């Protein structure tokens, strides 16, 4: 189910002659590993994620399971920052959407999978509601469920909890951690929230701005599931101040 | 007449996106809630009709020229009894249906192609700009030369006049599609066709409907104009012949039928759209 992602001297320049957005990014992501990317705005975090998703051309090489990435692939699912739900589809319809686009799955299996995901993201009661009737946190859960529905081996997440209030955010972090480790998903997660990066990451990568480069790396050795209380521990605080200092220089 | 229908008949050519018409019902003033406005609308129509009848029967105006509500009713009966009205309505309806149908298909498909692919737009946009801004009735003599006095000439005229509202509206809608949803669909490896079907088509509904609503009006103009000049048949023919024979009652019969069919079709369309777009209001 899980796959490795490997980036070798990845670079990205938008307009010819302008300063590169990404410069010489090298990163090996192990199968089932969660890597969180953190960095100031302008460090090219989202651009890097789009490159891995195959939605943006780049220089250098990116390979998933040894295969070079040039266009979106079925085993990779992307979760955008805004939920981007189809407003004319219900919760269940939105969860099924990615699956239906990829096709190849019998209707009965689709229904079963939507059923399981509604359970997983706790949206059973909201299955017939339209996005306009859901809270921000619920919409984001639909967004995640839609990505999980295609049973990806790599999950790419672009600040999915950025717009949420502190409480829904912590809930979703805990839920996501459970899902990701249960399914051994290889995950790349972008955030600019330091404690989110530590809590979710097996490894935290700090990107510096202008041009975007890897400027620091932190391995978070702490078994899962990690309880939310762990965020209040001294160990966590040490990680936090290390990353905070790194970000000041980034 | 209920409050809702009277509100609709007052703005039959509204171009505003349909969402706006459905939200505003929350705060209504007392004179709207009590149905006073619709009572006034009904009264307005009745007063004018009564004044017309009175002026005609008292000899204030020449009933031969102006007819009267009662005169119109009698003309109605007369035309139904001699079978002319039935065949005229059928003939106009056929022209209207074929013309509007073609305009919707051409405008809808063309609008998607032009709105979605920049290169297609580059080819067709100058022609749309030229044709949409000119009074197309000016082309009538040419159509007459090319197609003669025939059903196809009439259809061409109707299509020409009514295709642009649909076309332009669908182009606008296609360009306004939420690009983030398009990106999302592509990230799931959605094919171009799948993106168009699952993202573009549903978001086009309000644009398509408002295009069709305008096209209904234009197509009626097209029908009447081409019947005046190209065939002297149908309701348009009825109006012209009646006018020439100073049968103003029969002229009003034709006008009434045109007005009523426009109102009925626009109302039905609005109902249909409300049904498809329930997600908007719930």
Cα–Cα dist B272/A162, whole Å: 39
Among B178, B185, B187, beta carbon nearest to A53: B187
What token pair was written down for B280? 């908007």
DSSP SS3 for A188: strand
Counting residues of chain B whose pLDDT is more than 70, the rounded percentage is 89
Alpha-helical (H) ranges within chain B are 3-10, 19-23, 30-33, 36-57, 63-66, 69-81, 84-116, 118-133, 140-147, 151-175, 179-187, 192-195, 201-226, 234-244, 248-276, 278-281
- Could you tell me the pLDDT band of residue B23, with boundaries at 50, 70 and 90? very low
Inform me whether the pLDDT recorded for B163 exceeds 60.
yes
Instruction: Give the domains, in start order, of chain A with CATH numbers.
Output: 5-75+154-249 (3.40.50.300), 88-151 (no CATH)
- Say how many residues make up chain A: 250
Q: What gap in Å lies between CA A196 and CA B242, rounded to an integer?
A: 81
**Residue B145 banded pLDDT, cuts 50, 70, 90:** very high
Residue B129's pLDDT is 92
A56-65 residue pLDDT tens: 999 999 999 9
Task: Describe the crossing of helices B151-175 and B140-147 by its angle, rounded to 10 degrees.
Answer: 130
Instruction: Provide residues of B within 8 Å CB-CB of chain A.
Output: 178, 180-181, 183-190, 194, 198-199, 202-203, 277, 279-280, 282
Q: Given an 8 Å threshold on Cβ–Cβ distance, is B202 in contact with A78? A: no
Enter the tokens of residue A161.
């909890």
| Cα–Cα distance measured from residue A39 to residue A206, given in angstroms and rounded to the nearest whole number | 5
Tally Cβ neighbours within 10 Å of residue A87: 16
Question: CB–CB of A72 and B180 under 8 A?
Answer: no
pLDDT 10s digits, A84-139: 999 999 999 999 999 999 988 899 999 999 999 999 888 999 999 999 999 988 99
Instruction: Check residue B232 and give its pLDDT.
Output: 81
Give the model's confidence band at A19: pLDDT under 50 very low, under 70 low, under 90 confident, else very high: confident
Integer distance in angstroms from the first to the last C-alpha of chain A?
Answer: 35
Closest CA to A84 of A150, A172, A147, A165: A147
The DSSP H or E segment spanning A187 is strand A186-191
> Which residues lie across from A64 on neighbouring strands?
A5, A67
User: How close B196 comes to chain A (CA, Å)?
Assistant: 12
Q: What are the sequence ranges of the domains in chain B?
A: 3-67, 81-281
A74: which chain B residues are within 8 Å (Cβ-Cβ)?
189
User: By CA distance, what is A84's nearest residue in B?
Assistant: B181
Mean pLDDT of all residues belonging to chain A: 92
Given this model, what pLDDT does residue A250 score? 78
Please compute the mean of the pLDDT values over residues A70-85 and round it to a whole number. 92
Q: Which superfamily does B81-281 belong to?
A: MetI-like (1.10.3720.10)
What's the first-to-final CA gap in chain B, in angstroms? 26
- Cβ separation A55–B202 shorter than 8 A: no
pLDDT grade for A224, boundaries at 50, 70 and 90: confident
For the stretch B102-128, pLDDT in tens is 999 999 999 999 999 999 999 999 999
The reported pLDDT for the residue numbered A42 is 80
Count the neighbouring beta carbons within 10 Å of the beta carbon of residue B133: 8
Q: Give the pLDDT mean for A215-239.
A: 92
- A54 in the Ramachandran plot: left (φ > 0), alpha (ψ -120 to 50) or beta? left
Confidence of residue B7 (pLDDT cuts 50, 70, 90): very low
Whether A30 shows a pLDDT value over 80: the answer reads yes
User: Is A101:B185 a contact under the CB 8 Å cutoff?
Assistant: yes
Test B188 with A97 for CB contact under 8 angstroms: yes
Task: For residue A99, count CB atoms less than 10 angstroms from its CB and return exposed for 0-12, middle for 13-18, buried for 19 or more.
Answer: buried
pTM for the full model?
A: 0.82
Task: Answer whether residue B8 shows pLDDT above 60.
Answer: no
The per-residue pLDDT for B9 is: 38
Query: Does any CB of chain B come closer than 8 Å to the CB of residue A181?
Result: no
Q: State what percent of residues in chain B have pLDDT above 90.
A: 72
Task: Give mean pLDDT, residues A204-221.
Answer: 92
Beta carbons of A55 and B185 less than 8 Å apart: no
What pLDDT is attached to residue B74? 93
Cβ–Cβ below 8 Å for B189 and A101 = yes
**Locus of tokens 């051994």:** A184
What Rg, from alpha-carbon coordinates, does chain A have? 18
Nearest CA among A176, A179, A147 for reference residue A161: A176
Across the range B259-266, mean pLDDT stands at 94
Residue carrying the six token digits 């737009």: B121
Residue B6: its pLDDT value, please? 38
Q: What is the mean pLDDT of chain B?
A: 87
Residues 6 or more apart from A137 whose CB is under 8 A from it? Answer: A164, A165, A168, A171, A172
Alpha-carbon distance A90 to nearest alpha carbon in chain B (angstroms): 9
pLDDT range class, residue B281, cuts 50, 70, 90: low
A201 within 8 A of A35, measured Cβ to Cβ: yes
Residue B18 pLDDT greater than 50, yes or no: no
pLDDT tens, A146-196?
A: 999 999 999 999 999 988 888 888 888 998 998 888 888 999 999 989 999
Q: Which of A88, A89, A150 comes nearest B188 by C-beta?
A: A150
């Amino acid at each position: 189910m899980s796959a490795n992602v490997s980036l070798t001297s990845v670079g990205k320049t938008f307009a010819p002659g302008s300063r590169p957005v990404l410069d010489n990014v090298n990163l090996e992501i192990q199968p089932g590993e969660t890597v969180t990317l953190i960095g100031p705005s302008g460090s090219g975090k989202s651009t890097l994620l789009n490159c891995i998703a195959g939605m943006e051309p780049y220089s250098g090489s990116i390979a998933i399971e040894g295969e070079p990435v040039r266009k979106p692939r079925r085993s990779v699912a992307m979760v955008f920052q805004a939920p981007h739900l189809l407003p004319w589809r219900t919760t269940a319809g939105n969860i099924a959407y990615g699956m239906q686009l990829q096709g190849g799955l019998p209707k009965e299996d689709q229904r079963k999978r939507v059923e399981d995901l509604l359970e997983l993201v706790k949206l059973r009661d909201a299955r017939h509601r339209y996005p306009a009737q859901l809270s921000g946190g619920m919409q984001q859960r639909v967004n995640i469920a839609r990505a999980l529905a295609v049973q990806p081996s790599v999950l790419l997440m672009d600040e999915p909890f950025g717009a949420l209030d502190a409480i829904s955010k912590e809930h979703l972090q805990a839920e996501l951690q459970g899902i990701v480790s249960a399914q051994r998903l290889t995950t790349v997660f972008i955030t600019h929230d330091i404690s989110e990066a530590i809590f979710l990451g097996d490894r935290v990568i700090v990107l510096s701005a202008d041009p975007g480069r890897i400027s620091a790396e932190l391995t978070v050795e702490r078994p899962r599931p990690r309880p939310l209380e762990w965020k209040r521990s001294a160990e966590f605080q040490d990680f936090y101040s290390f990353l905070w200092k790194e970000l000041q220089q980034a | 007449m209920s409050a809702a229908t009277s509100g609709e008949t007052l703005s039959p050519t509204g171009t505003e996106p349909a969402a706006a018409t459905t939200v505003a019902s929350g705060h209504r003033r007392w004179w709207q809630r009590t149905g006073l406005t619709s009572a006034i609308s009904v009264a307005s129509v009745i007063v004018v009709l009564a004044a017309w009848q009175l002026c005609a029967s008292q000899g204030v105006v020449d009933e031969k020229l102006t007819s009267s509500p009662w005169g119109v009713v009698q003309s109605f009966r007369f035309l139904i009894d001699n079978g002319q009205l039935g065949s005229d309505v059928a003939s106009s309806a056929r022209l209207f249906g074929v013309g509007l149908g073609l305009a919707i298909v051409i405008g809808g498909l063309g609008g998607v192609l032009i709105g979605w692919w920049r290169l297609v737009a580059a080819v067709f946009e100058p022609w749309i700009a030229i044709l949409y801004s000119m009074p197309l009735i000016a082309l009538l003599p040419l159509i007459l030369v090319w197609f003669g006095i025939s059903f196809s000439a009439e259809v061409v005229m109707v299509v020409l006049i009514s295709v642009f509202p649909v076309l332009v509206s669908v182009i606008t809608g296609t360009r306004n599609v939420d690009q983030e949803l398009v990106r999302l669909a592509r990230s799931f490896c959605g094919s171009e066709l799948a993106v168009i079907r699952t993202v573009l088509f549903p978001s086009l509904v309000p644009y398509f409907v408002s295009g069709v609503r305008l096209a209904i009006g234009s197509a009626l103009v097209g029908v009447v104009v081409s019947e005046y000049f190209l065939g002297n048949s149908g309701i348009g023919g009825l109006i012209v012949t009646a006018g020439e024979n100073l049968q103003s009652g029969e002229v009003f019969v034709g006008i009434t039928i045109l007005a009523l069919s426009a109102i009925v079709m626009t109302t039905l369309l609005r109902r249909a759209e409300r049904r498809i777009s329930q997600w908007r209001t719930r």
